[in-house]
Amino acid sequence: MIEGHIYKSFDKELKELKEKLLYEGSLVERAIRDAIKALLERDSSLAEKVISDDDVVNAKEVEIDEFCLKLLALRQPAARDLRFITTAIKINYDLERIGDMAVNVCERVLELNQEPQLKPYIDLPKMAETVQLMVKESLDAFVKEDVELAWKVTRDDEIVDHLHDQIFRELLTYMMQDFKAVSRATRLLFISKYLERIADHAVNIAELVIFMVEGKIVRHLKTPEENK
């Protein structure tokens, strides 16, 4: 009975771990959304809020790391649970980096808000929406151990790559036409790059999920076309 009791409590702790990661995920999703809102509405105080709120994400990362280590030390879990916890440590790392990227976006927004807007933004919000969904779905895939959804996330990365290249080309045209556009175009380019990296982190998470569930190394299964 005591053994049964321990297992039940461990399950509860694993559930708690999932919830903690989901909560961290919701924080970084909001950070992405607010960062783009700050860009579109030229809202510097919102940008500053995202920057200062990143402390919460960072504290969460440390808390989750410690929680994982506690589980490992006290529970000495078996193979499958071990893999789950290592995956959680890595996902935690990716999420914290996503938070950093949202902060980076906001720093560029604060700079951009010192000058008039260069152009209407069309592709950047589209890109932000896609990466936000990728982050959300990669975490859903983790929690539900849903491999199909994880594969979808890896495929969506192509949309983001494509938008990034399109944005790069367009901004380059602005830069070539008008020297005064260079600093603003460069900052927008950085924002596009940060979003692209968020997508990379979502893909990392998705690949971790596939590896965790199927025990396979993902990139060896991809077609060359997907494997970019």
Q: Which of 1/135 has CB closer to a copy of itself?
A: 135
Q: How many CA atoms lie within 13 A of 46 on its CB side?
A: 18
**Class of residue 35 by CB neighbours under 10 A (exposed 0-12, middle 13-18, buried 19+):** buried
Q: Which of 1/58 has CB closer to a copy of itself?
A: 58
Q: Which of 122/182 has CB closer to a copy of itself?
A: 182
Q: Which of 1/192 has CB closer to a copy of itself?
A: 192
Q: Which two tokens stand for residue 91?
A: 């996902």
**Apex 43 CA angle, 160 and 186, nearest 5:** 50
Q: Could you tell me the smallest distance in angstroms from the CB atom of residue 19 to a copy of itself?
A: 20
Q: Could you tell me the smallest distance in angstroms from the CB atom of residue 209 to a copy of itself?
A: 14
Q: How many CB atoms lie within 10 A of CB 5?
A: 9
Q: Could you tell me the smallest distance in angstroms from the CB atom of residue 193 to a copy of itself?
A: 8
Q: Could you tell me the smallest distance in angstroms from the CB atom of residue 76 to a copy of itself?
A: 5
Q: Which of 135/175 has CB closer to a copy of itself?
A: 175
Cα 215 to the chain's mean position, in Å?
Answer: 23
Q: Could you tell me the smallest distance in angstroms from the CB atom of residue 151 to a copy of itself?
A: 17
Q: Which two tokens stand for residue 4?
A: 């049964």
Contact 164, 192 (CB under 8 A): yes
- How far apart CA 35 and CA 88 sit, in angstroms, is 26
Q: Which of 1/221 has CB closer to a copy of itself?
A: 221
Q: Which two tokens stand for residue 221?
A: 């299964």
- How far apart CA 94 and CA 134 sit, in angstroms, is 13
Q: Which residues bind a copy of itself (CB under 8 A)?
A: 58, 65-66, 69, 72-73, 76, 82, 85-86, 89-90, 93, 97, 100, 103-104, 107, 111, 168-169, 172, 190, 197, 200, 204, 217, 219, 224, 227-228
Q: Could you tell me the smallest distance in angstroms from the CB atom of residue 201 to a copy of itself?
A: 10
- How far apart CA 29 and CA 40 sit, in angstroms, is 17
